[in-house]
Structure 1
Amino acid sequence: MTTAADLAIVLDTEGKVHSVVTNPLNPTLGRLDHWKDRDIREFLTVESQPKIDAQLTAYRGGQKAKADAIEVNHFDNANWEFPIRYTLHKTGRDDIILMLGRDLRPIAELQHRLVKAQLALEKDYESHRDYETRYRVIMEASRDALALVDVGSGRIVDLNGSAAQILGAEAETLAGSAFTQEFEGRRRGEFIEGLVQAAGDDAARTITAKTRRSSVEVLLHPMVFRAAGDKTLLCRIETAGSPESVAAELSQVLSALYRDGADAIVFTDAHGVIRSANDAFLGLCDAGQLSDVKGKSLGDFLSRGSVDLKVLMDNASRNRKMRLYSTRLDGAYGSQLSVEMSAVHLTAAGQAGYAYVIRDTSRMEVVREPAGNLPGGPAPMSDDAMRNVMDLVGSAPLKDIVSATTDVVEKMCIETAVELTDNNRVAAAEMLGLSRQSLYVKLRKYGLLAKNDSGTPPKA
């Protein structure tokens, strides 16, 4: 009997326990000897007591048991609860009943696991539906025409309405079809392989093709990713001549100009610190690589240092750009080059900065006339100025003519320097190669001191 059931209880029809025997092969039930001579209802949960009462009432009345088996929940010490399935059997005495019970905890545990698994599956299903809905909304709301293509089979996995419109068919019709067949003169293996190669090539990430149904020239921008172990192509489709296509083409052209252009191009932040520079600039300043100049001030490479940089930045900030500014560029090993610079004030992504185009003019000095060949010297005189000087011949000595002409040129240079530096006389003096006292003397001489003081106050 001890091996036929996990728990055997002998009790009378009033519910008093006379004997309790547990299966030694199932030690998890523990010792239940303290049940003896006590009412079994003391060890049943509230919902289980009516089941036992119904069976005992039937046996006391000499009736047949109401059920072949009953399932009840026992508890012991108020913290240990276990389910048992009992079958009730008559004995040789009418008032004694034998209850043979089978431990249902393994089954209950299995049911609990099944319920948890079912809840987890439902949660995953709801999460999958949520992600599926988001994916669909994003695909259809996107302005870009997008198509997902399986690399192994070359078939369209999915596409949005914009892509279907460009390809000239309904999305339901195109889904599952061969992507290559939607373009003229393309072979499946070569076409798919070309898209994969273009996706991994930063220099050329665009494939040109012509749609078969609508005969439209398109640009394909592929990107490869791996999902569930399979490679998938995400192709962004643009019609040739669309604003997006023109912008992408312009971006490529500007990148090529920046990378391979003959003129040096430098981008700095709002304080003149170099963010990026092309190879042409590295060549001008004899730098080996970008890291040698990145993070340094552009003024470190200009002959007048912060003075040149401040003139460029101030004028570019006021007028958004400064067309031409002549100075000298210092190389890493002490060399100097005559250059012309243009500056543009830029604002992108909420950050201000400057772009500079620098051109080497040292070769032009060889062919210039001596009058314009001196660093910082005056430009060649115009025809009207030359005639005015010639009119003085005969009416004044040569010494007076030369002195008057020099005064005119000197006054023009001082006015230009003061204007470029926004009336910063320290910077203007350094730009002209004069001391501050000498500059004040010349400003007073040409009547420029009172003129400048009446406007913006001079900057130290």
Structure 2
Amino acid sequence: MTRERRKSERLRAGALPDPSSVQGIVELAADLAVYLSPNGEVEGISVNPDCPSLGCLDHWVGRDFKSFLTIESVAKLDERVAEMRADASMTPRWIEINHVDNATWEFPIRYSIHRTYSSDHLLLLGRDMQPIAEVQQRLVSEQLARERDQQRLRSEQTFYNVALEASDTGLIMVEPESGKIRDLNSAAALLLGTKASTLSGSSLAQAFEGRKREELLDELQDAARADEAKGVELMARRNGHSLLLYPDFFRAAGQLFMLCRLLPVDANMSTSAEVAQSTALLFASTSDAIVLTDAKGMVREANESFLVMADAAQMRDIRGTSFADYLARGSVDLKIILEAALKKGRLSNYATKITSVAGTRTSVDISASRLEHQGGDFGFGFVIRSVAPSEMGDGDATAGAVSEDAMKNVMDLVGTASLKELVSATSDVVEKLCIETAVQLTGNNRVAAAEMLGLSRQSLYVKLRKHGIMKSDSDDIS
């Protein structure tokens, strides 16, 4: 049975409509229908009346269909037509191409391409993609506008942060209803005795002594509504300083906020705040390494110079570790330094080496001080200066001189004594030198020196007497 016969049978059975009405069905089923000859010429065209945006396209008839396509679309159409002609059983698939007309007008159409029964003619049934393209274009425009708004917002936030930090007056932004600190600058944080990051987001009442949240907010709101500038006197909880808070209301995006100026009651406190700020800048920028620890020598804070010396990437890598971890002699060095600083309040020019995380060593001089905190708590501060080996203290030079004289005496014995006796004499010289150096480094602290040398206290006394460093028990100083 031929294809034409099957077609006629289906028409008689009512499976397909009468051929005379097919044209009307095509007009309604597709936004744009194009009938192409085998050579690609437009023989017929139909535009759905519900798509007025397509306009009248009757001038396409009798002209090459490709002349109304963009260059990219011509290649896509040729590829699809070649596939269909190579595979007669190929199911029609959608293809999106862009039309051009009158040199400037461009519109996208999504076609399904169909063969006709009797010839190599092609029927293209298309859907107008302009509404979807317009929606997509609006979405892209909205996204670009949103990104521009975000960029503008980030720029405004940067200006705000710079202006806030540049002010020498302490400024605190407060939410009137909740009483929470929305933002504050470094000047305000210094007056309150803490860091800005610590207070941001917390309750304003927590920064002051003896004030409840509701009571403080009522007092601030009364002061803000007063005709004359009226300050609220408060005491900072962390440092005990008396401060004046001057509140003012303002609105931003319909929300009510309170801007509080924070000033010291005593004019001298302003100078103290400036000194504290300068000290913080010195701590951050000095070339000498600075480390702050608690009473047990656990690292609380360190500046950038120490991070570089210790080969640490960031502060959190060393915070909470023992300072002994970075000293060449470990807990021995730390014990000597802390005991001296605890006894005398400070220690100067302690010569040792700093061991970095990577294992490298740097010769340093360490000065330490005991730091008193409120509530009876205390810690230690260390200033660490890198020195060249030739700059080490007098103790090292003296030890070198002793070693040189002792070794000269041993060398004078060559030819007069056996090798075994020479080696024994040399070992005694080295042992004496090490013991003298340990005693000197520990400030004549025999317990610390014994720990440094890995000896018991009794063994150290025996060797001290052997080498004439301690001639009697009256010299026994711990």
1:240 corresponds to 2:287: no
Q: Distance in 2 between matches of 1:68 and 1:111?
A: 23
CA displacement at 1:179 relative to structure 2:
0.6
The structure carrying a bigger helix percent of its residues is 2
User: Partner of 2:180 in structure 1?
Assistant: 155
Return the offset for 1:79: 3.0
Match of 1:444 in 2: none
Partner of 2:64: 39
Alignment of 1:10 with 2:41, yes or no, is no
Describe the shift of the 1:54–1:61 C-alpha distance in structure 2 as closer, same or farther (beyond 3 A). same
Paired with 2:84 and 2:118, the residues of 1 have a C-alpha distance of: 11
Aligned partner of 2:221: which letter? V
- Give 3-state SS (helix, strand or coil) of 2:154's partner: helix
Q: How does 1:87-166 map to 2 (within 5 A)?
A: 87-166=112-191
Structure 1 residue 194: deviation in Å?
2.0
**Cα deviation, residue 50, structure 1:** 1.3
Quote the residue 2:449 is aligned against: none
Aligned residues: 246
Any residues of structure 2 matched to 1:140-289 within 5 Å, and which?
Answer: 140-242=165-267
What letter is aligned with 2:151?
A: E
Provide closer, same or farther for how the CA distance between residues 175 and 56 of structure 1 changes in structure 2, counting only shifts above 3 A. same
The amino acid of 2:38's aligned partner reads T
Contact kept, 8 Å, 1:73 with 1:82, in 2: the verdict is yes
Deviation at 1:245, TM superposition (A): 7.9
Structure of greater Rg = 1
Shift of 1:68: 1.9
Give me the whole-angstrom Cα distance separating, in 1, the residues matched to 2:239 and 2:89. 84
Q: CA deviation at 1:98?
A: 1.1
The CA distance in 2 between the partners of 1:161 and 1:93, in whole Å, is 86
Q: CA deviation at 1:61?
A: 4.2
The answer to whether the 8 Å contact 1:149/1:232 transfers is: yes
Query: Structure 1 residue 242: deviation in Å?
Result: 2.2
Q: Evaluate the alpha carbon distance shift between residue 62 and residue 181 of structure 1 in structure 2; reply closer, same or farther with a 3 A threshold.
A: closer
**Counterpart in 2 of 1:75?**
100
1:66 CA displacement = 10
Question: What is the DSSP-based 3-state SS (H/G/I as helix, E as strand, rest coil) of the residue aligned with 2:53?
Answer: helix
On the 8 A contact 1:219/1:245 being kept in 2, the answer is: no
SS at match of 1:71: strand
Contact 1:13 1:57 in 2 (8 A): no
Residue 56, structure 1, aligned to residue 81, structure 2:
yes
- Whether contact under 8 Å (2:208, 2:234) holds in the other structure is yes
Structural RMSD (CA): 2.2
Native 8 Å contact 1:150 1:231 kept in 2? yes
Q: Distance in 2 between matches of 1:205 and 1:63?
A: 92
Deviation per residue, 1:254-288 (Å, 9 max, x gap)? xxxxxxxxxxxxxxxxxxxxxxxxxxxxxxxxxxx
Instruction: After TM superposition, give the deviation of residue 218 of structure 1 in Å.
Output: 0.3
Contact 2:92 2:114 in 1 (8 A): no
1:357 alignment counterpart: none
Cα distance, 1:180 vs structure 2: 1.5
**How far does the alpha carbon of each residue in 1:114-137 deviate from its partner, in whole angstroms, 9 at most, with x for none?**
111111111111111111112112
CA distance 1:22–1:186, change in 2 (3 Å)? same
**1:232 offset after TM fit, Å?**
0.9
Q: Does the 8 Å contact 1:146/1:162 carry over to 2?
A: yes
Aligned pair in 2 of structure 1 residues 231, 188: CA closer, same or farther (>3 Å)? same
How far is the alpha carbon of 1:174 from its aligned partner? 1.1
Distance in 2, Cα, partners of 1:167 & 1:17: 84
Q: Which runs of 5+ in 2 are unaligned?
A: 1-25, 272-478
* Shift in CA distance, 245/205, structure 1 to aligned 2, threshold 3 Å: farther
- Distance in 2 of aligned mates of 1:210 and 1:244: 13
* DSSP-derived class of the 1:232 partner: strand
Change (3 A) 1:37 1:60: farther
Distance 1:158 1:136 in 2: 10
Contact 1:54–1:66 (8 Å) recurs in 2: no
User: In structure 2, what is the Cα distance between the partners aligned to 1:64 and 1:139?
Assistant: 74
Q: Could you tell me the percent identity over the aligned residues?
A: 46
CA distance in 2, matches of 1:38, 1:231: 69
Please give the TM-score of this superposition, normalised by the length of structure 2: 0.48
Q: Distance in 2 between matches of 1:241 and 1:198?
A: 21
- Encode CA deviations 1:11-70: one digit per residue, 9 max, x unaligned: 123211111111122122122122112110121122221122223333444567698222
Cα displacement (A) at 1:244: 9.6
- The structural deviation recorded for 1:217 is 0.3
Length-normalised TM-score, structure 1:
0.50
Trace 1:14-33 onto structure 2 (pairs within 5 A). Answer: 14-33=39-58
Higher mean C-alpha displacement, 218-227 vs 30-39? 30-39
The answer to whether the 8 A contact 2:229-2:246 is kept is no
Alpha-carbon distance in structure 2 between the residues aligned to 1:205 and 1:175: 25
For residues 40 and 90 of structure 2, what CA distance do their matches in structure 1 show?
15
**How far apart, CA to CA, are the structure 1 residues paired with 2:181 and 2:194?**
13
1:359-398 per-residue CA deviation (whole Å, 9 max, x = no partner) reads: xxxxxxxxxxxxxxxxxxxxxxxxxxxxxxxxxxxxxxxx
SS at match of 2:28: coil
Q: Residue 134 and residue 178 in structure 1: after superposition, are their counterparts in 2 closer, same or farther (change >3 A)?
A: same
Secondary structure of the residue that 1:48 maps to in structure 2?
Answer: helix
